[in-house]
Amino acid sequence: MKNKVTCFFCSVLLFLTGFSSAQNSNGATKDELMEWFRAAKFGMFIHFGASTSEDYLEEGLNKTERYEKSVRDFNPVDLDAKEWVRIAKDAGMKYIVFTTKHHDGFCKWDSKLTDWDVIDQTPFKRDIVGELAKACKEAGIELGFYYSIADWHHPEYNPAYSNRQGFHFRPNPDADITKYMDFMYGQIKELCENYQPRLFWFDGSAGFRKPSKKRLLGQQEMVDLLNSYGAISNSRLGDDDALDYVNYLSMGDNMTPSGNIGVDFESAQTMNDSWHFTKGDDNWKSAATMLAKLVDIAGNGGNYLLNVGPDSKGVIPEASQSRLKIMGEWLKKNGKAIYGTHASPYPYEFNWGAITQRTDEGVTTLYLHVVDWPKDGVFKLYGLNNAITKASLLANGHVLSFTSKFDALAGANVISIKVPETAPDPYVSVISLEMEGAPLMDRVFVQQQDGTVILDAFRSMIHDEEFVPDKPLRPLDQRTFTVLKKGKGIMPTRGMTVGLEKEGQALRWDFRMMKPGTYQVAVLSSVKEEDAWKTDGKMRATVAGQSVENKLKEQERFDNIRMATEMKCSVAILGKIEIPNPGMQTLTLEVTSNFTDLTPNVISVQLLPINN
């Protein structure tokens, strides 16, 4: 095997040397390659292929035979690539990512390297990728390609490298993974040369997570190959969360970070519970929910890749189209606050919405995307220290009056904007703030406008039960956003949460209180919908000279809007505390009794105001 691996890498290097100088003549830097992506903000993901084998349950057919029959019956007679592109463009989307080859290995273009493709195996016999590439070029939409590294059909794809156990339609005991890698590199080159994509969205590399296997992917060689053709790569090429090789981070499925994580990222999400078209899946997200996600993701410096799944005839469902139309209409009025903007100057989340910013001709504008419109007619923004020159509603230009005052007790500036009592937009209303100079905003946790304090566990300071040399002091600094790594002490867990289980472990936050009062101390943890919440340990929160200690008894469970549909937030109340004074405070959450049944994956600690 060692000799085979060596020969494989030699062939890759020779392969790259042979074409890179000709293809990289424009000399684009990585930043230049990323410019269009950073400006785009909103894209369409299209999951489309043959029906799953479960749709073919004829008696006497095994799994492989059912699947292969579904491919040979593939005939989306109503597929119109121009219509797909029209829907995306009307929705305000700036790019499309299409599934050229999913885990099943079925190719939607006329590949010269396999006959397991749409031309050679199906009655449809049309190059879907080619038609989509032409339609995108005519419409001025950028095109990217989803490409699965895993391949459950290729004879040289060793099942030992599969992303899911037991999934290979025709397992070959003599499979040579290095031959498959030559095939994969050849197909990537074929797609680049034939269709000029701007992006590759890799998937299915979970079987390569061990270092001994990961090097087979040739991450540096692959990224050099793509960049030489003017394309960028996502991080699922070998789970490169730290972006050591690739161009940008792909979050976990349906995952959104709760703040600016400091890297280029993209959040791919479904409209319902399915990626491919699934008959009977009517759990559709509302347009309001998806617009809230769009502004949240843009405010954190990322892109929103929203999925559609055309049906077996190639038609995007009306339920998707109607929601996209609403989003497009909103973007026609408010697109200036999305496209080409930068992340919020405040690195943490707001529970009222999000902030984006841009600078044009020396004028800096903050866009306040308000999802939860204030009921008292006054919107307050804490901690912005610039002199504001103008406040207005973006959609109609209506000028708003405002005051700016330093609160000496709290130690923060307060901007109060008088706004209409009714939200101007039924989904997200945008306030435009023009100011002098680059935005200077306090970068500490600050109390929210409604009195809530949200302390994100992923951005806490870690206190392990014993010293762990060379370990970052914050989970955020470990740069493991989607794929977990094992280590001593407190470690990040799934969904950018933090696991606490042993006595002596603790998290700490410094934060600014604007309003004194009485608060419930809530611990929010992530849990799967079907899991029972059993915790036998105890936690203690200490703030303002007071401590509350309790078991994490679940008080409430609700959707975790930053994770997949099956993930929920479990809320436990530790007790009640009073914070008598505004200003800087410190809160510590510590384990006081070991957890043996379940490790709480902490999302945040929140102080919930108790109304007198």
Structure confidence by residue, pLDDT tens digits, 544-582: 999 999 999 999 999 998 988 889 999 999 999 999 999
Sign of the Cα torsion 12, 13, 15, 21 reads: positive
Alpha helices in 95-154 (DSSP H): 118-121, 128-139
Torsion (CA) 478, 483, 487, 493 in degrees, nearest 10: 90
Residue-wise DSSP of 471-526 = --SSGGGG--SSS----SSS-EETTTEEE--STT-EEEEEEEESS-EEEEEEEEEE
What backbone phi and psi angles, to 5 degrees, belong to 2? -60, -45
Each domain of the chain, given as residue ranges in start order, spans 2-13+42-336, 353-443, 453-609
| Closest of 581, 566, 577 to residue 605, by C-alpha | 577
Q: What is the mean pLDDT of the chain?
A: 93
Confidence of residue 26 (pLDDT cuts 50, 70, 90): low
Identify the CATH assignment for 353-443 out of 3.40.190.10, 3.40.50.300, 1.10.3720.10, 2.60.40.1180. Answer: 2.60.40.1180
Max avg pLDDT among 5-14, 59-68, 238-247: 238-247
| Closest of 319, 195, 203 to residue 252, by C-alpha | 203
Token pair for 25: 């003549």
Predicted confidence (pLDDT) at residue 415 exceeds the cutoff of 50 = yes
CATH number of 2-13+42-336: 3.20.20.80
Sequence-distant (6+) residues with CB within 8 A of 272 are 278, 281, 282, 283, 284, 285, 319
Confidence of residue 597 (pLDDT cuts 50, 70, 90): confident
* Residue whose tokens read 């349906």: 254
Residue 480: CA count within 13 A, CB half-sphere = 16
What pLDDT was estimated at residue 533? 86
Confidence of residue 64 (pLDDT cuts 50, 70, 90): confident
**Quick one: fold of 453-609?**
Jelly Rolls (2.60.120)
What pLDDT was estimated at residue 270? 97
Counting beta carbons within 10 angstroms of the beta carbon of residue 192, is it exposed (0 to 12), middle (13 to 18) or buried (19 or more)? buried
- Indicate yes or no: pTM above 0.75: yes
Predicted confidence (pLDDT) at residue 14 exceeds the cutoff of 70 = no
Structure confidence by residue, pLDDT tens digits, 270-308: 999 999 999 999 999 999 999 999 999 999 999 999 999
Predicted confidence (pLDDT) at residue 16 exceeds the cutoff of 50 = no
Structure confidence by residue, pLDDT tens digits, 448-503: 999 999 999 999 999 999 999 989 999 999 999 999 888 899 999 989 999 999 99
Q: How far apart are CA 309 and CA 383, in angstroms?
A: 43
Predicted confidence (pLDDT) at residue 376 exceeds the cutoff of 70 = yes
